[in-house]
Amino acid sequence: GLKHLVSISDLSTSEFASLVDRAAYHKKLIKSGEPVGSEISDALKGKLVTLMFSKRSTRTRVSSEGAAVYFGGHPMFLGKDDIQLGVNESLYDTTRIISSMTSCIFARVNSHSEIQQLCQHSSVPIINSLCDTYHPLQAICDILTIKETFGETKGLKLAWVGDANNVINDLAIAALKSGISVSIANPEGITMNPTILEAAKLVSEETGATLETSHDPKKACKDANIIVTDTFVSMGEEAQKQQKLKQFASFQVSSELTKLAAANWKFMHCLPRHAEEVTDEVFYGKNSIVFEEGENRLYAAIAAIEHFVLPSK
Ligand code: CP
Ligand code: NVA
């Protein structure tokens, strides 16, 4: 049957590891400067790759379009003001029509239920390109970046100082699958989704990596190898901005916090970044790998197309 990329928890540990390995493989190929073979460069020749995005995007858009071009496909960006969806047409009708003419749909939506509806009604693979609950492409990219930086993932500790939604939901599962222990600090009043914690528990039992949650950034960052945060106000939450900034007041990643980390600590952020989340000193400092991370989004998108789209075309 048709396989979609919805969330990291849908993937087996070996399937996830192979996506990361393939991303690294294609990166090496591209960086070598040698022309890629026609098996790759013609794989989507004559086909559309559509991006149905109802929210802004820099990295996800550029990386998915770049990945489509790498395979010889034609990327087509459909922003929310471009198509009939939501104004003149239902998600069902839109999905039936778009999927009938394209090789796959990269979809950036609001609620996770929209991704589920897309998967149900699409005749081609859906690649979840961010919903309120998951961000699988970011998690593939982040584990690739961690592997490149540390060589080995097993035994590392990742600290999350931030919100409890899409990015950490997939990153926590991805890290645990890679043998990385995860310590999550969310502000008071914000807690992780129980479905994610349940899935995380099963992965922990499988790989031996541990997960803990608290409201204490210091506890999370203690001896951490990787410190990660995300925006405090996600797209779609603009109305709650003042309240959320108040909740996150003591959650800025600063040099004071990173002092608690392991000597080889690195800072990561999916971007876009705002100053309240992390000081300039940390964000632009020598321990920050945010721009290497950002670039790796391209290779994650390539691996996703190879794994989910090429077998079905
Ligand atoms: N990290 C990420 O998904 O960035 P964009 O919102 O710019 O795509
Ligand atoms: N949590 C952020 C991630 C953006 C890539 C958001 O949903 O806006």
Q: What digits encode the pLDDT tens for the residues 284-309?
A: 999 999 999 999 999 999 999 999 99
CA of 249 to the centre of ligand 2 (A): 19
Q: Would 8-134+298-312 and 138-294 be classified into the same CATH topology?
A: yes
- 159 three-class SS: strand
Q: Provide the residue count of the chain.
A: 313
C-beta of 2 in contact with ligand 2 (< 6 A): no
CA distances from 15 to 142, 177, 214, 238 (A): 16, 10, 30, 36
Residue 1 has pLDDT above 90, yes or no: no
pLDDT tens for 63-91 read 999 999 999 999 999 999 999 999 999 99
Residue 38: band (very low, low, confident or very high) from pLDDT cuts 50, 70, 90: very high
Ligand nearest to the CA of 295: 1
Could you tell me if the ipTM is greater than 0.95? Answer: yes
CATH code, 8-134+298-312: 3.40.50.1370
Ligand nearest to the CA of 60: 1
C-beta of 58 in contact with ligand 1 (< 6 A): yes
Domain range 138-294, CATH class: alpha beta
Active site residue 270: yes
Q: What is the pLDDT of residue 12?
A: 98
Q: Which of 108, 234, 244 to mutate to test the pocket of ligand 2 (most atoms within 8 A of CB)?
A: 234
Rounded mean pLDDT of the chain? 98
Residue identifier of the C-alpha nearest atom 2 of ligand 2: 234
Q: Which residue has the tokens 């996830």?
A: 16
Q: What is the pLDDT of residue 312?
A: 87
Residue 152: band (very low, low, confident or very high) from pLDDT cuts 50, 70, 90: very high
Every domain of the chain and the residues it spans: 8-134+298-312, 138-294
